Structure 1
Amino acid sequence: MMVKSDVAAPVAKKVPSERVHHGDTFVDEYEWLRDKEDPEVVAYLEAQNAFTETHTAQLDGLRKQIFGEIKSRTQETDMSVPSRRGRYWYYARTEEGKQYAIRCRCPISADDDWTPPEVVADATLPGEQVLLDANVEAEGHDFFSLGALSVSDDGDWLAYSTDTVGDERYLLRFKNLRTGELLDDQIADTAGGAVWSSDAQHVFYQTVDDAWRPDTVWRHDMGAGTDDVRVFHEPDERYWVGMGSTRSDKYLMIGVGSKITSEVYVLAADDPTGEFRSIAPRVEGVEYSVEHAVISGDDYYVVVHNDIRDGVKAENFAIDIAPVDDPSARREFIAHDPQRRIEDLDAFRDYLVLSYRHAALPKLAIADLRAIDGIPAPADFHEIEFEQELSSAGLGGNPEWVTPKLRIGYASFIEPTELLDLDVATGERTLLKRQPVLGGYDPADYVQSREWATAADGTRIPLSIVRRKGVDDNRPAPLLLYGYGSYETSIDPGFSVSRLSMLDRGVVFVLAHIRGGGEMGRYWYDNGKTLTKKNTFTDFVDAAGYLVESGWTTPKQMVAEGGSAGGLLMGAVANLAPELFNGILASVPFVDALTSILDPSLPLTVIEWDEWGDPLHDPDVYAYMKTYSPYENVGAKPYPPILALTSLNDTRVLFTEAAKWVARLQEMSTSDNLVLLKTEMSAGHGGVSGRYKQWEEVAFELAWILQQTGAYVPD
């Protein structure tokens, strides 16, 4: 239970504002909290911060203890495993006491040298060159984020971009890596990425529109002294624009995508002033992505898609190949399988790597082109297997088109992340690095397992359960239930140093893989979006009910957590089942969803209509969203303790949403439980920047969770 004091919560004034749509009128008394330039709004946020600090002051000692634990388990001076690209090994170093990574490279010793230099935590490598020291770039700024970090193919130029506000608009700059000279060229308000042409004379970048949507690709001609050339613009507000290149470096690619439709344009990288051409015209509801592959000496586009073939839609995606000189002549390569969600196919000169999802877990399978005569068959792809059932495997940094080995990343909930080199021909695996966890960490002290809850409609919901060994012997236990459930995003097994501070205090960590995410394939996503969105919320409630009924925990020992769209989940769950939790933590919560999705002038709204529906023009969508949008549905009920975290400069989920939601909760709740709001006054959607600041924030959150689960009782 929270420690209370005589300090009262700040009371937001009420300024009635009517929102009228489809004959329905909603009176919003806290809409005035939208203007972050208004001194009264800033004063209200600061008052809420002071209120939160007062009511969490008793956790200060625990916060410091957790911060110390995270710090003591982390190898602060460290180095990533170098990845080979061209004439250099590229890597990042961190140094004790410094907030940000230092990006470096060193020359390779010989053309046939494919063994990366040994990782030496506290030493530089021979011939090391610092490409970018983010600590220097961040000096004088409360916030810092690195966007682009792109080296030209010849290794002589660096394009990089920085954000020092948190609004995800970046300043793009250029550095001569031969001389160390920083060019005068600066391009403001870019979207964060940069792609070089093969001759290193041109850089492609993106800008955003007023709604923060990347909509335009520009070409910057190095040293030309002329205005940049607009090479592509997407006027349809439902579509985002992305820019990249194939691993072979042979083609530049522009990807245009809504939530349900996409189109890809390509251009030969050695013809940067040429015209991009579409691989296949966009068709509503059809998504596809493209990679370049050379198979049996012929150039192909590999197309991962969910198109219709023989009257059946490839819901979980299929793969076609098409000759580069005739992209319309596509033929099936890997057929659709309803039990396997194909996510990607990566092409190397000698291998094809299939990334897919089965039984709520990510998998890899490889076809060795050197051992195949002609076009590979599905049977030529062989899965890479690992011992742990609950684990994640994916490609690591493999920037080179030609490589004798593949770099693979592996993780589970209880095993520190590993980076491996795989010799495809022999199957031999070489461990390059295991994430260091200082202080004698032993995975054998922890247990991970999979259980299944059952939703009201009979759907089985996978749960990933992580605990310290022996905790289940003392059921019921303190428990944190985490969920997201939107955008087909999958929350996969992964290791967390900070989570140990919770597990070691007897808290069970549970991930609810609810509908709206992508863990169980495209149908899992489709049944948790638009007019089926409520499945996301009821799945989470049913998962919580299962954990109580099966004896894992009790409502007095359970806390729920989610962020962004997962914050919408938290807001909906607070309204649906406040009695199931003794705490709800919502980070940058999307809790005023209907107001935001009704306003096409707000960042990201129009493109979001494919995810939530279009309540502005469709009365059925409006009515449906109004039944679950957390802010509108706050009522006179006994809410549990709630902690909402937001950032003033967030452009994805505006701080307004959390501020309004908390004001309404504090007004309406019939319980004595505290509703707290903490606003970072100089950060964006990802929260504070800098690893030590981030550890402090994690410690703040974990201390609150430990208190609310009963795993920690303040003096």
Structure 2
Amino acid sequence: MTQEALASIDATQHRAPHPARDPQSRTVHGDTVVTEHAWLRDRRSPDVAAHLVAENAYTDARTAHLAPVVSALSQDLAAPRAAEELGVPVRSGSWWYIDRPRQDEHGRDLALSRIADQDVRIGSGGVPILPAGEPGEHEQLLIAGRRRTPGFALSNDQDLLARAEISTSGCAISITDLTSGEVIDQSVRDAGADLGFSHDGQWLLYTHLDDLGRSHQVRRHRIGTAADSDEVLLEETEPWGELQITRSRDGSSLLIRSQSIETTETWLLDLADPTGPLSSITGRRAGARPALEHAGDRLLVIDQDDDGRDVLGETSLPGRDGSPAAQTLLTAGDGEEFESVEAFADFAALQVRAAGLPGVRIIRRRADGSFDALSVRALGHGGQLDAVRLDANPSWTQSTVRYRLDSLLTPTSLAEADVATDEVTVLHQVPFPGFDAAQYLERRLWATARDGTAVPISVLARRDVLADGPAPGLLYGDGAYGTSLDPALGQGALALADRGLVVAIAHVRGGGEMGGDWHLAGRQLTKDASFDDFISCAEHLTATGWVAEGRLGAVGMGAGGLLVAASANRAPSAFRAIIAGAPLVDPLATLLDPEVMLTLEEWMEWGDPVEDEAIYHHLRGYSPAENVPETEFPAVFAWTALEGTDIPPTEAAVWVAQLRARITSDPTQRPVLLRCLPAVHDAAVEAHAESMAWLLDQLDVPGIRA
């Protein structure tokens, strides 16, 4: 912060709010803790409301001098994108299927239509040339809005369409004869989104929901009959188990998968005989594996070997001659995970995670239908941070594979690779006006954590900024729920890079970038690893000269707010300033609060401190609000909202109060600010712009371009 900016602040008129201390005792598992600001968690209290008003007034005073930068950043972040373009049609049989963007009162949506081969003109890349906007003369509208239609299925001859449309309890299923346009069946209710027709189109297989919204049954419906006579093929009795159904790409079989917290099982149904018996392929297995894909005359299986490494194998179909044990095709290397596999008549496409990035590998089939493990080819365009994901590939007999590619310097691109020739065609790239990739660089760095684990970092920067040596920087992190922060070109990151920041992403344990084990290594009793990884990434950026000493900011949202706050408690000197948006910074109090509605996912991620004493003590040891050190601390900008966040907004108020009560930093040089919005959806851009302008100011970024 410049001296001129400091001079504009009248410290006598704009003092930070210091809420009253109201000591309250809490005893859990024999551990008694006295908290001083727990009363701030009562969002219905008039005193709390008045305190949040005072916090906003103080933040207004401390950020008033940044108004031009906030305005410029708001314009950059809210810059209108190019008009939504027609999605690239995808072929299935003799039809081309098209996603058409639409806007309604609820925002962006997609309509689904189709057009026959004979009614289109083929352009470059082998795809039809179609007008944007509303469906053309020969197009048939199938689904007016995908938002309210989470699932659909086509019959083998593509003459019948089943739609799962959101209703008051689950989905209502409608079946339309696409030749006549007549709705021929609307009897199924309380269904899930998973649907599949029998081979002859006379039966519909679907999941049925229980009173809790769980897909607990697979039912068989004779089209044209009453749904109350539908037979239950399978019922999952485990309370946390759910059923999913998937029709094989060749249309011959239905795979039914049950997955619960602890077990999985997969069955097979012959769609040529939909009233026949189910075959359990795997039996009940502990853990998330195996995952199966029907590959015509055999099955592909993703499982784990005795060393815990992912393995892709192939095996015979149930009931055929040959060993039921899968024959290994590929074994994952260090830091690799096999996520899923899709089979086609002439090849398979394996979705992987390797070196912290999503990728796709193509495996060709031999003349006898077996898979040639020596023919593996990875899709990508040669960038250090290419993130590749399979796109829509519906046809069993297709000879190409579509995929999407992103990186920190690549606008989202839809490409298609010819499996036989390896020729790649870019079908579409999202417009990004004014962007010149040559002015920037992206890099993958690796930090070494305290226990020796290699932790990936993704970096974006302008080349001219780094030409002058280490620069101010921002380190972003999340590291919870298995979420992967995969590279993608973003308006916010570019706006900060253009203003002189090195923008880095820490892919810490607790996230999913390095696979399922990476998530398990940073949750519940191993959560400390996330904080150690983030600190190691911060230290690596400064030690290797990417970021100037004392000029690194940390940013996290939600569980990422917990990450940056807990990391700052442990290593306050590693960061000059931190931003925490809607932060989970008082997690122990929230998990102990019976009035806070938590999901199963949240209990699985953090643990239950009431039932598990070890979990309680672990949370007690890292909860940011309960472990603020009495020392110099980074400047803090926390923002939250009364509506629109999953985390109680008063968590931030408790944390900020604790910081002001304990840290020894000069509040003029290193302020602690709290912005509370009425609703996050109404002011998200403004909140991001204000916090980022504040960060640029705290990091003393020269020549901020307004």
The TM-score, its normalising length taken from structure 2, stands at 0.80
Describe the shift of the 1:585–1:330 C-alpha distance in structure 2 as closer, same or farther (beyond 3 A). Answer: farther
Structure number with bigger Rg: 2
What letter corresponds to residue 674 of structure 1 in structure 2?
A: V
Q: Distance in 2 between matches of 1:61 and 1:364?
A: 45
Q: Tell me which residue corresponds to 1:158.
A: 163
Equivalent pair of 2:204/2:220 in contact (CA under 8 Å): yes
Report the CA distance between 1:279 and its aligned residue: 3.5
Give unmatched runs, 5+ long, in structure 1.
138-144, 164-168, 682-686
Is residue 348 from structure 1 mapped to residue 350 from structure 2 by the alignment?
no
Equivalent residue for 2:85, pick from 69, 78, 81: 78
Equivalent residue for 2:699, pick from 678, 703, 709: 709
Q: Distance in 1 between matches of 2:21 and 2:275?
A: 57
Trace 1:309-388 onto structure 2 (pairs within 5 A): 312-325=306-319, 329-339=324-334, 340-369=336-365, 371-388=366-383
Q: Distance in 2 between matches of 1:147 and 1:16?
A: 52
What letter corresponds to residue 158 of structure 1 in structure 2?
A: R
Equivalent residue for 2:422, pick from 422, 427, 430: 427
What letter corresponds to residue 82 of structure 1 in structure 2?
A: P
Q: Distance in 2 between matches of 1:40 and 1:182?
A: 60
Summarize deviations over 1:261-320 as a string: whole Å, max 9, x none: 5334554567778886654244434533222111xxx2x3322123x5xxx233344445
Q: Tell me which residue corresponds to 1:292.
A: 294
Alpha-carbon RMSD across the aligned residues, in angstroms, is 4.5
Q: Tell me which residue corresponds to 2:101.
A: 93
What secondary structure, in the 3-state scheme, does the structure 2 residue paired with 1:470 have? helix
Summarize deviations over 1:449-483 as a string: whole Å, max 9, x none: 23332323333333222111121122331211112
Summarize deviations over 1:85-121 as a string: whole Å, max 9, x none: 4634121325799941342423132499893323766
Q: Distance in 2 between matches of 1:350 and 1:391?
A: 26
Summarize deviations over 1:18-67 as a string: whole Å, max 9, x none: 55432223445666666767777777667766765665555554344334
What letter corresponds to residue 109 of structure 2 in structure 1?
A: A
Trace 1:545-560 onto structure 2 (pairs within 5 A): 545-554=539-548, 556-560=550-554
Q: Tell me which residue corresponds to 2:398.
A: 403
Q: Tell me which residue corresponds to 1:466.
A: 460
Equivalent pair of 1:707/1:714 in contact (CA under 8 Å): no
Q: Distance in 2 between matches of 1:83 and 1:121?
A: 16
Equivalent residue for 1:443, pick from 437, 441, 450: 437
Describe the shift of the 1:146–1:60 C-alpha distance in structure 2 as closer, same or farther (beyond 3 A). Answer: farther
Report the CA distance between 1:500 and its aligned residue: 1.7
Report the CA distance between 1:510 and its aligned residue: 0.9
Equivalent pair of 2:184/2:224 in contact (CA under 8 Å): no
Q: Distance in 1 between matches of 2:690 and 2:275?
A: 51
What secondary structure, in the 3-state scheme, does the structure 2 residue paired with 1:515 have? coil
Q: State the number of aligned residues.
A: 679
What secondary structure, in the 3-state scheme, does the structure 1 residue paired with 2:530 have? helix
Summarize deviations over 1:476-534 as a string: whole Å, max 9, x none: 31211112233444333322233221221111111222233344455544433343321
Give unmatched runs, 5+ long, in structure 2.
none
Judge which range, 489-498 or 514-523, deviates more: 514-523
Q: Tell me which residue corresponds to 1:633.
A: 627
Summarize deviations over 1:530-583 as a string: whole Å, max 9, x none: 433212111111211222233332465322122343232122113112332233
Equivalent pair of 1:411/1:494 in contact (CA under 8 Å): yes
What secondary structure, in the 3-state scheme, does the structure 2 residue paired with 1:425 have? coil
Describe the shift of the 1:173–1:513 C-alpha distance in structure 2 as closer, same or farther (beyond 3 A). Answer: same
Equivalent pair of 1:481/1:510 in contact (CA under 8 Å): yes
What secondary structure, in the 3-state scheme, does the structure 1 residue paired with 2:98 have? strand
Describe the shift of the 1:609–1:640 C-alpha distance in structure 2 as closer, same or farther (beyond 3 A). Answer: same
Report the CA distance between 1:75 and its aligned residue: 0.7
What letter corresponds to residue 433 of structure 2 in structure 1?
A: L
Equivalent pair of 2:170/2:209 in contact (CA under 8 Å): no
Q: Distance in 2 between matches of 1:599 and 1:329?
A: 50
What letter corresponds to residue 436 of structure 1 in structure 2?
A: P
Q: Distance in 2 between matches of 1:111 and 1:368?
A: 33
Is residue 589 from structure 1 mapped to residue 583 from structure 2 by the alignment?
yes
Q: Distance in 1 between matches of 2:189 and 2:360?
A: 39
Q: Distance in 2 between matches of 1:269 and 1:678?
A: 56
Judge which range, 251-260 or 458-467, deviates more: 251-260
Summarize deviations over 1:641-675 as a string: whole Å, max 9, x none: 33445565668545454454445445544442123
Report the CA distance between 1:587 and its aligned residue: 3.5
Judge which range, 607-616 or 570-579, deviates more: 607-616
Q: Distance in 2 between matches of 1:652 and 1:275?
A: 44
Q: Distance in 2 between matches of 1:302 and 1:57?
A: 61
Is residue 571 from structure 1 mapped to residue 578 from structure 2 by the alignment?
no
Q: Tell me which residue corresponds to 1:688.
A: 681
Equivalent residue for 1:106, pick from 102, 106, 114: 114
The TM-score, its normalising length taken from structure 1, stands at 0.79
Report the CA distance between 1:424 and its aligned residue: 0.9
Describe the shift of the 1:432–1:228 C-alpha distance in structure 2 as closer, same or farther (beyond 3 A). Answer: farther
What secondary structure, in the 3-state scheme, does the structure 2 residue paired with 1:498 have? helix
Describe the shift of the 1:266–1:688 C-alpha distance in structure 2 as closer, same or farther (beyond 3 A). Answer: farther
What secondary structure, in the 3-state scheme, does the structure 1 residue paired with 2:625 have? coil
What letter corresponds to residue 116 of structure 1 in structure 2?
A: V
Q: Distance in 2 between matches of 1:257 and 1:110?
A: 43
Report the CA distance between 1:353 and its aligned residue: 0.9
Report the CA distance between 1:328 and its aligned residue: 9.4
Describe the shift of the 1:53–1:267 C-alpha distance in structure 2 as closer, same or farther (beyond 3 A). Answer: farther
Report the CA distance between 1:384 and its aligned residue: 2.8
Q: Distance in 2 between matches of 1:7 and 1:237?
A: 55
Q: Distance in 2 between matches of 1:204 and 1:568?
A: 41
Equivalent pair of 1:259/1:607 in contact (CA under 8 Å): no
Q: Tell me which residue corresponds to 1:482.
A: 476
What secondary structure, in the 3-state scheme, does the structure 2 residue paired with 1:688 have? helix
Describe the shift of the 1:714–1:111 C-alpha distance in structure 2 as closer, same or farther (beyond 3 A). Answer: closer
Describe the shift of the 1:52–1:536 C-alpha distance in structure 2 as closer, same or farther (beyond 3 A). Answer: same
What letter corresponds to residue 618 of structure 2 in structure 1?
A: Y
Describe the shift of the 1:694–1:152 C-alpha distance in structure 2 as closer, same or farther (beyond 3 A). Answer: farther
Q: Distance in 2 between matches of 1:186 and 1:302?
A: 33
What secondary structure, in the 3-state scheme, does the structure 2 residue paired with 1:100 have? strand
Describe the shift of the 1:183–1:468 C-alpha distance in structure 2 as closer, same or farther (beyond 3 A). Answer: farther
Equivalent pair of 1:78/1:121 in contact (CA under 8 Å): yes
Report the CA distance between 1:428 and its aligned residue: 1.6
Report the CA distance between 1:324 and its aligned residue: 3.7
Judge which range, 395-404 or 234-243, deviates more: 234-243
Summarize deviations over 1:102-161 as a string: whole Å, max 9, x none: 424231324998933237666865534556666xx9xxxxxxx76715354445443344
Trace 1:117-516 onto structure 2 (pairs within 5 A): 117-118=128-129, 125-128=136-139, 148-150=150-152, 152-153=154-155, 154=159, 156-161=161-166, 193-198=193-198, 199=201, 202=204, 204=206, 214=214, 216=216, 242=244, 244-257=246-259, 261-267=263-269, 278-285=280-287, 287-294=289-296, 298=297, 300-306=298-304, 308=305, 312-325=306-319, 329-339=324-334, 340-369=336-365, 371-439=366-434, 441-516=435-510
Percent identity over the alignment is 31
Describe the shift of the 1:448–1:151 C-alpha distance in structure 2 as closer, same or farther (beyond 3 A). Answer: same
Is residue 62 from structure 1 mapped to residue 69 from structure 2 by the alignment?
yes
Judge which range, 540-549 or 12-21, deviates more: 12-21
Q: Distance in 2 between matches of 1:183 and 1:57?
A: 62
